[in-house]
Chains A and B, each alone.
Chain A
């Protein structure tokens, strides 16, 4: 985390690249672990992680709502950790995976704070998005 903070201070864009690469790397690592476990549930989890990793990279409309992708990935990871705490089997690979997921949540929280302005900034962006969607709906309403 200290390395990420130093990188972010030294060069804002470099910081963004480093944190995003870290997020994508950790996300793909946990996706691969879940896929290796076999079974429909683990495979669905792996597909979810992979989709969110791709959404962290693609430009265009998704790039405009990257804060939402970060939030979704954070929620998805937290839910996966919670599910394991409640129902999961305890074995070595599971502990390694939970360590990866915990670091992932921490990096996402750091990125959410740095790039999106924390919970208040996210709330503002959510309000803006809802207003924009509302505006589109109003514009499409026939007179």
Chain B
């Protein structure tokens, strides 16, 4: 019983350590010229809408401010992937080179946490 309680305590500490909030409440970095910026913290994106140019490649700066891995993937209305960003654990950032996407409203999400979603307006 003592062994079980010890394991439970160790595992609890481990789980608590793994999920401790990380990062800061600093303002998001500046968007690259002609591109967009988005930040992930506490298993949530800092914005629900991205406005990007249509029909031309652009840069998307993604800053992950916590240890949990995240990425940004853009889907069209039919659910087909238009762009898949690299998944990485933070704190850290990546500048994605996103190929041209058609004009209109698309969806973005984190593939690891599908509840983290938003819309991409290309125009």
Contact = CB atoms under 8 A, between A and B. Distances in A.
Interface of A: 24, 28, 31-32, 35-39, 43, 46-47, 50, 53-54, 57-60, 87, 89-94
23 contacts: A31-B14, A35-B14, A35-B18, A36-B18, A37-B69, A38-B19, A38-B43, A38-B67, A39-B113, A46-B15, A47-B15, A50-B11, A53-B7, A54-B4, A54-B7, A54-B8, A57-B3, A59-B1, A60-B1, A89-B87, A90-B111, A91-B71, A93-B69
Given A37-B69, A89-B71, A31 B15 contact: yes
Contacts, number: 74
Contacts of B111: 89-91
B67 A36 contact: yes
Given A60-B1, A93-B89, A54 B11 contact: yes
B33 interface: no
Given A57-B3, A59-B1, A93-B69, A35 B19 contact: yes
Contacts of B42: 38
Interface in B60-79: 66-69, 71
A139 B114 CA distance: 51
